[in-house]
A and B are shown apart, each in its own frame.
Chain A
């Protein structure tokens, strides 16, 4: 990261949300996951700077934040692409052909698992069961499920995203 872009504080909007989050719990530390989720939404990933402001805000030491950050797979220590593609690899999706879908994503994007495209648009990951087993194979992109995947559907999704479409979270089977 460019040293001049050091993050030192949350936005006023986020700060307001944090104050509200803190009213839900008798203990400040309980706000850690909600605040980390919020911080990730605001800054994209949890860099060391962000870890420090989260720790300070909740009266925790940075290691207390770090140990939580590294436990939960949806929290990113490193930057990810604009679109985070999380393809399910667990059994029901695998029975429905997720290996082929993974291969197609890799081929279309020209990247391997865990990698980001050079233009910074897409990061490709495999993840464990997304509770989309009845609509398998399934992928989650920036919080939105896409289900009953086929190669053609993957092509459409990627084309839409390249055109700047925002993934919209919808109910099971609707996307």
Chain B
């Protein structure tokens, strides 16, 4: 299938370095010139609403609508934040956009800041992205030098300052209110909502938080029009391209920008080169660790927000993890449960206590000490977490266990009865409980 790259067009151009010169040579920063001539902030917001762009961070909320929730009084200070905290297991698309084409994202931030009337924006980048942070520092300096950023831009109509805020290792800071707390110099504990950041965000002011890939789409929407964007991909509800990070047992893991709406099978076979060693696929996580596991029976599902939701998972962050037939599902679910237990912020007790309880039971099963009644207990504990916490983390952490139990309950049972894995050559070693 032939299609046009949008977000990856520059970085796939041979010799492209991501410098300001390279970016401008390929048409960069034309969008802000166009906006300055042709659009009021309200018109820009309207354009993005008409494009039907939805957030690429995980929740898929319509971007223009998010902007439109801000109070209209221009006298109120407001902020823009770029969520560059990419930490969802299986996801590494933003990292590449930052490292290879930083100006595309910066131009997107200038557009977003103009639309919402923000004078200051913060890029919250995870502390592990040391190289990415250096690239962004350099790109920001270039943008200031060229007059795209500063106190007096858009012909004196506004001023926009962008700053890099480097995190220090905490998955939860990708949750947007935890991200705000973190910028404010606190522990990254999500806030109770409402009020939402649109009215009470950073420093209690109206705030928009957009993901790197979301922002990177904006220059293209301005240059080519809302109708163009709304017509590509899987319109009307999932237009545009999407960068999927494919990892696990595939021949060519990597980031692939594809039109939304192609099938999971096409992504895995045609782009990621199929499964290693001609093995069969057992499981796919379509949207990062927070998304439910799917079976190979779902390979023909379309990759768009609605279609993935219909088969009981979510498009989430676009992190697609592929597992072959030799992968033990109990082992895989335990691996992700350990991730969540490590990353729970501890604010809500169902999540804090539940996550480590789930890990204990899962370890017991994995290591051959499980009991049949553990399976019901797992479901019961998950039910005590999902929907009972103030952020989406609680719903996310139960996804691996509940979905693997639903599709591969027999593997759990085999583990408990046979005290070993059903598949592969992992040949579970019996270890003492608590052993790791």
Contacts and interface: CB of A to CB of B under 8 A. Distances in A.
B186 interface: yes
B399 to A, nearest CB: 13
Interface in A133-175: 133-136, 140, 143-145, 169-172
Interface in B161-186: 161, 163, 165-171, 182-186
B335 A94 contact: yes
A37 B168 contact: yes
A95 B88 CA distance: 16
A31 interface: yes
B335 A133 contact: no
Interface string B183-199: 11111100000000000
Indicate the size class of the contact surface on chain A.
35 or more
A123 to B, nearest CB: 15
A22 B433 CA distance: 49
A91 to B, nearest CB: 5
B90 A92 contact: yes
Nearest to B166: A37
Contact of B127 (A72, A129, A134, A136): A72
A42 B91 CA distance: 32
Nearest to B163: A24
Contacts of B86: 131
A75 B185 contact: no
A90 B336 contact: yes
Nearest to B255: A134
Nearest to B338: A89
A79 interface: no
A134 B185 contact: no
A74 B90 CA distance: 20
B186 A68 contact: yes
B336 A91 contact: yes
Contacts of A73: 168-170
B187 A27 contact: no
A86 B251 CA distance: 26
Indicate the size class of the contact surface on chain B.
35 or more
B88 to A, nearest CB: 7
Given A24-B163, A26-B203, A91-B89, A131 B129 contact: yes
Contacts of A132: 92
B238 interface: no
A75 B169 CA distance: 8
B332 interface: yes
Contact of B89 (A90, A144, A145): A90
Contacts, number: 155
B339 A128 contact: yes
Given A26-B203, A74-B128, A144-B130, A134 B168 contact: no
Contacts of B165: 24, 30, 33-34
Contacts of A24: 161, 163, 165
B342 interface: yes
A133 B92 contact: yes
B347 to A, nearest CB: 11
B150 interface: no
Interface in B70-122: 86-92, 94-96, 99-100
A34 B133 CA distance: 13
A82 interface: no
Contacts of B355: none
B131 A171 contact: yes
Interface in A68-106: 68, 71-75, 89-92, 94-96
Nearest to B187: A71
A164 B254 CA distance: 32
A139 B227 CA distance: 44
Contacts of A172: 92, 95-96, 99
A169 B134 contact: yes
A33 to B, nearest CB: 6
B254 A134 contact: yes
Shortest 5 CB-CB contacts between residues of A and residues of B: A72-B168, A32-B185, A73-B169, A74-B169, A29-B185
10 contacts: A30-B183, A90-B339, A92-B90, A128-B89, A132-B92, A133-B89, A133-B91, A133-B92, A171-B99, A172-B96
